[in-house]
Amino acid sequence: MHKLIPNVAPGTQGFNDIAASAFDYSALDQANEAVRLRLNSTVVGVQETVNNRVVVDYVQEGSPLSVTGDHCVLACYNGAIPYLCPQLPEPQKEALNYGPKVPLVWTNVLLKNGHAWSKLGVSNVTCPDDPYVVLTVAPPTTTGGHQPPRSADDPMVVYMLGVPNVAVTGSETSRELCRTARHQVYATTFETYEREIRDQLQGVLGKHGFDHETDITAITVNRWPHGYAYEYMALDDPKWEEGQAPHEIGRAQFGRISIANSDSEAYAYLDAAVDAAWRAVQEQSRTKG
Ligand SMILES: Cc1cc2nc3c(=O)[nH]c(=O)nc-3n(C[C@H](O)[C@H](O)[C@H](O)COP(=O)(O)OP(=O)(O)OC[C@H]3O[C@@H](n4cnc5c(N)ncnc54)[C@H](O)[C@@H]3O)c2cc1C
């Protein structure tokens, strides 16, 4: 990112000083830059025209706008693409709808000090039946300007990974459970999240002198209802022939429109999105005229 738009963090050298760098987010979308991000524009329609062009309709600050180009790479969620691009063949739209995003809740809790955690004597706790399945301390990374806690007297952050726990009858597929869990992430109030966090930390740390009333100084709850790309699960998903898996059918090039995202690789990590982007650009670079 820094190499694409250096003005976002002009004084930064790289990893060694990134943690304490000042960011100017307004530099992400300057009209005179070769690379622009965060355009504050929501695409609502994409259409290939009969004269080999692509029309993209979008909304910016409430105004409907349109742009026409020679090529288009759709890099949003697979589940949205059939609605944005109704022109796609029905089997492709069905394939794009197959895998839902996997919901997650990532919570960070700032503790006044690390005494109770240090008495616990571990860096990672697994709680499979609780709202947060993993509790862990941040890796002790030192980069320019940023230091991990030096002793238990320093404030510390506990990271809590929540996988929404929904009622299961045993007949639902994992894809259905992901969709139900997404609704739960949206519908849960912050008061409930806070109570669960306090209860769980009290349960884990209480016998080491922890008091959630006085020892918690801040909580951030990051809800990711559309979190990870869906990866097939052996319990529910068949083993498809090569080229026949939904993500492969779904990512088929459609003339001047290509699809690039981690969903199109059925793999939830950044390298999937980069691989998909490379494939999509290659597809379009072979589509001349
Ligand atoms: C909480 C969390 C932590 C993660 N941690 C890691 C990690 O440590 N390492 C790792 O490798 N991966 C991690 N990932 C996964 C990684 O973030 C994804 O694999 C990667 O960002 C996927 O890229 P993408 O391009 O498919 O989608 P995204 O990065 O989600 O990009 C899609 C973009 O499309 C935009 N968009 C959607 N619809 C429209 C529309 N209609 N009009 C305009 N724009 C639209 C969205 O705003 C978004 O900016 C994490 C994911 C989550 C949720």
> With a 6 A CB cut-off, is 46 part of the ligand 1 pocket?
no
- Predicted pLDDT at 289: 66
Domain count, the chain: 2
Q: State the average pLDDT over residues 123-152.
A: 89
- Predicted pLDDT at 206: 97
Q: State the average pLDDT over residues 183-202.
A: 96
65-108 pLDDT per residue, tens: 999 999 999 999 999 999 999 999 999 999 999 999 999 999 99
Q: State the average pLDDT over residues 39-48.
A: 94
Separation in Å, CA 221 to CA 110, 160, 196, 208, 224: 12, 9, 12, 25, 10
Considering the domain architecture, whether residues 48 and 77 belong to the same structural domain is answered as yes
Q: Residue 110: is its pLDDT beyond 80?
A: yes
Higher pLDDT, 12 or 230: 230
Considering the domain architecture, whether residues 239 and 215 belong to the same structural domain is answered as no
Considering the domain architecture, whether residues 49 and 132 belong to the same structural domain is answered as no
- Predicted pLDDT at 230: 97
Q: If you measure from the C-alpha of residue 182 to the centroid of ligand 1, how many angstroms do you get, rounded to a whole number?
A: 16
- Predicted pLDDT at 10: 86
- Predicted pLDDT at 86: 97
Does any domain span residue 28? no
> With a 6 A CB cut-off, is 159 part of the ligand 1 pocket?
no
- Predicted pLDDT at 181: 95
Range of the domain at 260: 40-99+232-285
The one-character DSSP state at 26 is G
Atom of ligand 1 nearest to the CA of 272: 19
Share of the chain above pLDDT 90, in %: 77
- Position 275, amino acid: D
Does pTM top 0.95 for this prediction?
Answer: no
Mutate which of 1, 228, 263, 274 for ligand 1 pocket (most atoms within 8 A of beta carbon): 228
Does any domain span residue 86? yes
User: Considering the chain, what is the average pLDDT of its residues?
Assistant: 93
Q: Residue 205: is its pLDDT beyond 90?
A: yes
Q: What does the alpha-carbon distance between residue 21 and residue 30 come to, in Å, rounded to a whole number?
A: 20
Domain's final residue, options 228, 251, 271: 228
Q: If you measure from the C-alpha of residue 273 to the centroid of ligand 1, how many angstroms do you get, rounded to a whole number?
A: 8
Q: What is the CATH number of the domain that holds 135?
A: 3.90.660.10
Q: Residue 2: is its pLDDT beyond 80?
A: no
Greatest alpha-carbon span in the chain: 72
Considering the domain architecture, whether residues 171 and 118 belong to the same structural domain is answered as yes
What sign has the CA pseudo-torsion 180, 265, 160, 108?
A: negative
In this structure, what token pair is assigned to residue 110? 């700032």
Considering the domain architecture, whether residues 109 and 222 belong to the same structural domain is answered as yes
